[in-house]
């Protein structure tokens, strides 16, 4: 058997052209979706009177066999199998004969491949959501375990104000929570059955699309067949969500890479996630983190790929759309490794409280001093200005805010009093920030509780 579509052709396809256009090399992984979709379509044909009960059963058994062969890695791709749909149909016809030839009644590869890709992605989204919740679980556990630890908070990578280490950790919890929300939103638009659209104009036979959707677990059916065969929004939306998720991981990685340098020494990542050097025997490089950061490249690349592919294509199906799959698969594969690696890094890293504490300098209490003046009735803009002068004076004298003498303070403004030294305390500074999103222990504890509620039973099981 040659190509499915070859009977009107006289010439053979050019050999390089075959390589150029065949997709079996990467779309094989859709085998399960293709078999499930075909089974549901067989049922629909049967209900529409286009397959007898016997034919339908034969096809079902044949498809079961095909699925088993794939799962046992026993399925043999033939040279003419240009894509997974052809491969399954070819094998089915070997197994069940002419009934297989009826399976394509009213169905085109255009609606079939769209159905398969959506089925595949729905399953992957669910898996990735679980992996995300496991990273969140690891974050929550560490955040709860280290609640007492104070560290420098940075903006512009310069010391800003003291914060709880757990507060820093939880910032990533909420980023990942948005990633989960975005995946859930995109899932709704993925869960729309295109089968029934046929090539572009709709199925010419009375197929019950709602029943097929129900059998396959789709939440809705397509409204317009032209749109259905060319809609790759769901791929783009997934790839965007994946790119933003990886961007979050890249920021986490950046923090930890910097904090793993001896000059910071806040964190030590576990050897399981580090590698050595081929030439420098002392090295322990945070490779896992660098890859989490670097893989943002491919994620942004995958997103640009699909957007470029779609730009300016005429309506309905174009062959260009075959280019949707490799970026999609690459993004899924990357995340299926990146997320557990992230969870592992977080769960196993050593947190060096001492080094964090040592890095708490007086400078990051300057805001406390300005707020102190506010309580004395000084407008904040003025108090900010006065404390700026204090900072400058302290630097000039080689003092810190805590060692600068009271007269020096009073020389700048007489509203400074002895009690100013009381506010120059990192713990106090943390305690004061008790708004719900703030870094005070009570607020962070409430964050953690809310996080655990979101994770449900998962949190405990990690």
Q: Which of 63, 121, 243, 332 binds a second copy (CB under 8 A)?
A: 243
Neighbours of 54 (CB within 10 A): 10
CA distance linking residue 106 with residue 319, whole number of Å: 20
Site for a second copy in 6-65 (CB under 8 A): 6-14, 16-17, 19-21, 50
Q: How far is the CB of 286 from a second copy (least distance, A)?
A: 6
Nearer of residues 294 and 417 to a second copy, judged by Cβ:
294
Q: Which of 181, 403, 422, 427 binds a second copy (CB under 8 A)?
A: 181
Q: Which residues are tagged catalytic?
A: 156, 277
Site for a second copy in 199-228 (CB under 8 A): 199-207, 209, 221-228
Site for a second copy in 403-422 (CB under 8 A): none
User: Is the distance from CB of 400 to CB of 390 less than 8 angstroms?
Assistant: no
User: Is the distance from CB of 121 to CB of 328 less than 8 angstroms?
Assistant: yes
Q: State yes or no: residue 350 binds a second copy (CB under 8 A).
A: no
Nearer of residues 133 and 305 to a second copy, judged by Cβ:
305
Binding range to a second copy, per CB under 8 A, among 24-32, 117-125, 157-165, 403-411: 157-165
Tokens representing residue 37 in the block = 């979709």
Site for a second copy in 256-285 (CB under 8 A): 257-258, 260-264, 270-285
According to DSSP, residue 436 is labeled T
Tokens representing residue 172 in the block = 């990533």
Nearer of residues 68 and 311 to a second copy, judged by Cβ:
311
Q: State yes or no: residue 140 binds a second copy (CB under 8 A).
A: no
Q: State yes or no: residue 229 binds a second copy (CB under 8 A).
A: yes
User: Is the distance from CB of 364 to CB of 370 less than 8 angstroms?
Assistant: no
Q: How far is the CB of 228 from a second copy (least distance, A)?
A: 6
First to last CA, the chain: 52
Nearer of residues 77 and 160 to a second copy, judged by Cβ:
160
Site for a second copy in 382-401 (CB under 8 A): 382, 384-392
CA distance linking residue 38 with residue 50, whole number of Å: 14
H or E element in which residue 151 lies: strand 150-155
Nearer of residues 68 and 208 to a second copy, judged by Cβ:
208
Tokens representing residue 22 in the block = 């065949």
Binding range to a second copy, per CB under 8 A, among 68-76, 134-142, 362-370, 403-411: 362-370
Site for a second copy in 294-323 (CB under 8 A): 294-298, 300-323
User: Is the distance from CB of 16 to CB of 77 less than 8 angstroms?
Assistant: no
Q: Spell out, one character per residue from 441 to 460, where the chain touches a second copy: x when CB under 8 A holds, - when not.
A: --x---x--x----------
Q: State yes or no: residue 159 binds a second copy (CB under 8 A).
A: yes
User: Is the distance from CB of 339 to CB of 131 less than 8 angstroms?
Assistant: yes
Q: State yes or no: residue 158 binds a second copy (CB under 8 A).
A: yes
User: Is the distance from CB of 165 to CB of 256 less than 8 angstroms?
Assistant: no
Nearest residue to 118 via CA among 242, 237, 223: 237
Name every residue whose Cβ is closer than 8 Å to that of residue 73 and which is 6 or more positions away in sequence: none
| Site residue total, a second copy (CB under 8 A) | 198
Nearest residue to 163 via CA among 143, 173, 149, 174: 149
């Amino acid at each position: 058997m040659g190509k499915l579509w070859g009977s009107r052709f006289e010439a053979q396809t050019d050999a390089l052209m075959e390589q150029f256009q065949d997709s079996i090399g990467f779309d094989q992984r859709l085998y399960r979706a293709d078999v499930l979709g075909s089974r549901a379509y067989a049922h629909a044909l049967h209900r529409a009177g286009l397959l007898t009960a016997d034919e339908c059963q034969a096809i079902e058994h044949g498809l079961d066999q095909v699925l088993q062969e794939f799962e046992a890695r026993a399925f043999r791709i033939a040279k003419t199998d240009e894509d997974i749909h052809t491969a399954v149909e070819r094998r089915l016809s070997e197994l069940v004969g002419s009934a297989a030839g009826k399976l394509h009644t009213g169905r085109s590869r255009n609606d079939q491949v769209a159905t398969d890709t959506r089925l595949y992605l729905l399953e992957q989204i669910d898996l990735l959501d679980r992996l995300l919740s496991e990273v969140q679980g690891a974050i929550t556990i560490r955040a709860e375990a280290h609640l007492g630890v104070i560290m420098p908070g940075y903006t512009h990578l310069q010391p800003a104000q003291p914060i709880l280490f757990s507060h820093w950790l939880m910032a990533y919890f909420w980023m990942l929570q948005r990633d989960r929300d975005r995946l859930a939103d995109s899932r709704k638009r993925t869960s729309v059955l295109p089968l029934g659209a046929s090539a572009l104009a709709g199925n010419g036979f009375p197929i019950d699309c709602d029943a097929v959707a129900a059998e396959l677990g789709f939440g809705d059916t397509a409204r317009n067949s032209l749109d259905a065969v060319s809609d790759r929004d769901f791929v783009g939306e997934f790839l965007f969500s994946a790119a933003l998720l990886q961007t979050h991981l890249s920021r986490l990685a950046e923090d930890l890479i910097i904090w793993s340098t001896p000059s910071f020494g806040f964190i030590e990542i576990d050897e399981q996630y580090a590698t050595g050097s081929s030439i420098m025997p002392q090295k322990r490089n945070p490779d896992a983190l660098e890859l989490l950061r670097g893989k943002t490249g491919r994620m942004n690349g995958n997103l640009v790929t699909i957007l470029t592919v779609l730009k300016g294509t005429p309506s309905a199906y174009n062959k260009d759309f075959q280019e949707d799959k490799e970026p999609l698969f690459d993004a899924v594969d990357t995340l299926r490794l990146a997320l557990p690696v992230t969870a592992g890094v977080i769960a196993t890293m050593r947190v060096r409280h001492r080094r964090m504490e040592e890095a708490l300098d007086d400078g990051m209490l300057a805001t406390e001093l300005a707020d102190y003046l506010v309580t004395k009735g000084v407008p904040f803009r003025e108090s900010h200005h006065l404390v700026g002068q204090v900072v400058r004076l302290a630097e000039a004298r080689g003092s810190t805010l805590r060692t600068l003498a009271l007269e020096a303070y009073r020389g700048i403004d007489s509203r400074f009093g002895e009690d100013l030294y009381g506010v120059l305390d990192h713990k106090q500074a943390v305690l004061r920030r008790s708004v719900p999103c703030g870094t005070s222990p009570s607020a962070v504890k409430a964050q953690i509780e809310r996080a655990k509620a979101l994770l449900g039973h998962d949190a405990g099981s990690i």
